[in-house]
A and B are shown apart, each in its own frame.
Chain A
């Protein structure tokens, strides 16, 4: 049988000339590891918010992103343009980044890298749990008619102060943790 120029086994093709020599029978290329998650695929899937998180196996996070996105659109169309109109692109882009990072984190865990708690310091902080409880109670009280969230709307910049304060606090703690070597 004659060798074709398109035959990858043919020694005349450039691919065959540049390819590494084949391994002896019974030996495999041990340096190649198939990672469980593809960050690119996770990011592509999350073009529909939440789907990338589903791919990463984070179902609850997927629901949070999906309902945050849908809720922002709903509240924007029902007359709450500010600040929810700004939240739509924020939630959308953050969802893509989160899916990408989630897939990378899953791969790092697969390769025996850092644990989830080391990757996400907020896991070790009560801020996330406390925020969920406060947010849930505020919305519940509003739904029961015991509180008017619209009257609280003018206080939304306080949120910026709280978030800024949290970042400052974290930075100071990290500086303390590193022994203040920057001083």
Chain B
């Protein structure tokens, strides 16, 4: 069985970069304080990564069970 083309770590990395870009822009516009926000909420990236890894695993297991 080959691994699916979907890459949880790649998606997480991309989402984190997008989020960082949005937050950075808002911080530059004076809408929010970036560093305290990141200091508190950065573990969400680990949670997102873990959830995507589990979802990918279950999708692959179910698809290999079907075939």
Contacts and interface: CB of A to CB of B under 8 A. Distances in A.
A63 B44 CA distance: 15
A144 B3 contact: no
Interface string A112-141: 000111000001111011111111111110
A25 to B, nearest CB: 41
B10 A59 contact: yes
A116 B41 contact: no
A138 B57 CA distance: 23
A129 B47 contact: no
Interface of B: 1-3, 8-10, 12-13, 39-41, 43-54, 57, 60
A78 B17 CA distance: 28
B10 A143 contact: no
Given A115-B3, A117-B3, A143-B41, A132 B13 contact: no
A96 to B, nearest CB: 20
A143 B40 contact: yes
B54 A126 contact: yes
A2 B34 CA distance: 73
- Max chain A Cβ within 10 angstroms of own Cβ: one of B40, B46, B48: B46
Main secondary structure of the interface of B (DSSP, over half): helix
Please give me the 10 A-B residue pairs with the lowest Cβ-Cβ distance, nearest first.
A132-B50, A136-B46, A60-B9, A129-B53, A133-B50, A136-B47, A129-B54, A139-B43, A140-B43, A136-B43
Given A117-B2, A129-B53, A143 B46 contact: no
Contacts of A124: 57, 60
Contact of A128 (B1, B3, B44, B53): B53
28 contacts: A59-B9, A60-B10, A60-B13, A60-B49, A61-B9, A63-B13, A115-B2, A115-B3, A116-B3, A117-B1, A117-B3, A123-B3, A124-B60, A125-B57, A126-B54, A126-B57, A129-B51, A129-B52, A129-B53, A132-B47, A132-B49, A133-B46, A134-B50, A136-B44, A136-B45, A136-B49, A137-B43, A138-B43
